[in-house]
Structure 1
Amino acid sequence: MLNILSSIEAYVKGQLQSRPPPIVHEGHKLPVISVAFSPDGNSVASGSYDKTIRIWNAHRPSSIGEPLTGHSDGVESVAYSPLGDVIASGSDDKTIRLWDVNTRRQSGVIKANSEFISVDFSPDAKLIASGCGYSSSPPASLSVQLWDVQKMTAAANPFKGHNFWVSSVQFSPDGSRVVSGSWDTTIRVWDVERGTTVVGPLEGHTNSVHSVAFSPDGSQIVSCSNDGTVRMWDARDGKLIGNPYEGHTYG
């Protein structure tokens, strides 16, 4: 038994010693609010309250080019297109800006009447889903909105149902649905074609929902909240899967 324990201890120590040190990227002047890996895993985009987007090498602590500038207020969300050639950034300046990764130039801008808290590309890169809100927003803008990437205009009427800021949105892997999380403590699943809630509202969190995501096969949804929990949901019927994961003391 002692030999087995010694072997396990030696293995664990070896694994820890051989683990590469963390890569730390520094350069933003204010808090970094959103990060996203490129589809090929070679770069990371970050958005900050310093109004800039930066692209970083995922394998060593170095930036790729100069910061992307153009927003006039903090950047709340960044997302790569499925091909990795475009970055979308949502900002408190009430715009979504598109950036060509190769030329590092702005390739388009979407304007609205509300701050953009979350953005996500559809799997075919033809649409962007956005979550809107914040204190200056009119109640009608507390919604999920789809945008046509080519036309830079709304692709459908707003998806309405939440009654507070929409803090997180993500397309399902097949692009047919969008999941949203809100400060109203609920999660909703929307049909992209009809713009209606098809699952939910999912209730259980006792404080604002900060982030939501589909599982790779689209069958489950994970959410995290200011109530300090992570919860798993069945994406088909909205039922809670198991007990909440607890341990965090805040959002």
Structure 2
Amino acid sequence: MSSSTSKTPAIAPSQTMRGHTDWVMGVAHLAGERRIITCSMDGLLRLWALKSGTQIGEDWRDEYDGMFSMALSPNGEIVASGCGDGKVRLWDVETKKVTGKWTGHTRLVWALCWSADGERVASGSWDGTVRVWDVKRRKNILTIKTGHKEVWAVTYSPDSSKFATGGDDENAVKIWDAKTGELLNTIKHDGIVYCLAWTSDGKKLISGSYGPIRIFDTATWQQIVVIEGHTHVVSAISLSTRLIL
């Protein structure tokens, strides 16, 4: 008896950007432009042209501290980077210079997220805390001891009234009031929660853990969909603006 095996065809990359000397930990696309910014554990940010795959200008440098996370402001003018020394750095996209440094975390900053209005940044650290920063005043306005041993994910709701965190030890997604830091809900998982994404209408929250991707209704916080297929850690989720669930 003969048998046939169907395989998913390989998709060749349109460009390969080379230059970083350590793991690339984050990518941000500049809206309306064919440019991306990358951050790496080599301690550098780099700007790239998507069409040619070449680096634009020099490396963005500060003190040599590996970068583990990055997030672009809603207006595309500022990049926040989370570093191995526990600092959050703010970079001006045009000048490629550091315009602010926030200190307070005692371990590396693994997760960053901007509020929709660009006035706040939430940072999640392996010290188990989330800190909320006022961008204009350049100061920490809220610190939450999450109960996670390490915070792996943090994401604001679209209206910025809440944010969700994911982590280990307490393997769960936790929902917090963004102004008061009050814990609103805890959604238990079987393993570490590595990544989170909120749909643009705020009605669903998506989590990535070890294996399945889970989707929750934010009105009830009940699980409504489980997406199977991955056999290892799901470390990143990105949503299309046309996603319908």
Same topology, TM > 0.5: yes
How far apart, in 2, do the equivalents of 1:210 and 1:71 lie?
Answer: 27
How far apart, in 2, do the equivalents of 1:123 and 1:41 lie?
Answer: 20
List gaps (5 residues or longer) in structure 1.
1-15
SS class of match (2:222): coil
Contact 1:118 1:168 in 2 (8 A): yes
TM-score, structure 1 normalization: 0.82
* Partner residue in 2 for 1:210: 194
- Alpha carbons of 1:229 and 1:20: their partners in 2 closer, same or farther (altered >3 Å)? closer
Of 5, 28, 31 in structure 2, the residue corresponding to residue 36 of structure 1 is 28
* Partner residue in 2 for 1:249: 231
Q: Could you say which structure has the higher helix fraction?
A: 1
Contact 1:39 1:80 in 2 (8 A): no
| Deviation per residue, 1:188-230 (Å, 9 max, x gap) | 11111121122x21113x22111101011111111111x2111
**Identity score, percent:** 29
Query: What's the offset of the Cα at 1:238?
Result: 1.4
Q: Which stretch of structure 1 is more off in the superposition, 78-87 or 62-71?
A: 62-71
Query: What's the offset of the Cα at 1:64?
Result: 2.2
Of 143, 154, 161 in structure 1, the residue corresponding to residue 140 of structure 2 is 154
How far apart, in 1, do the equivalents of 2:203 and 2:197 lie?
Answer: 11
Task: Answer with 1 or 2: which has the greater Rg.
Answer: 1
How far apart, in 1, do the equivalents of 2:177 and 2:165 lie?
Answer: 11
Q: Which stretch of structure 1 is more off in the superposition, 175-184 or 76-85?
A: 175-184
List gaps (5 residues or longer) in structure 2.
1-8, 234-245
| Deviation per residue, 1:120-168 (Å, 9 max, x gap) | 11111111101011xxx4xxxx122101112222112x22333321111
TM-score, structure 2 normalization: 0.84
Give the alignment's Cα RMSD to 1 decimal: 1.9
Aligned pairs for 1:10-25 within 5 A: 22-25=14-17
How far apart, in 2, do the equivalents of 1:129 and 1:40 lie?
Answer: 25
Query: What's the offset of the Cα at 1:21?
Result: 5.1
Name segments (4+ residues, structure 1) moved above 4 Å.
none
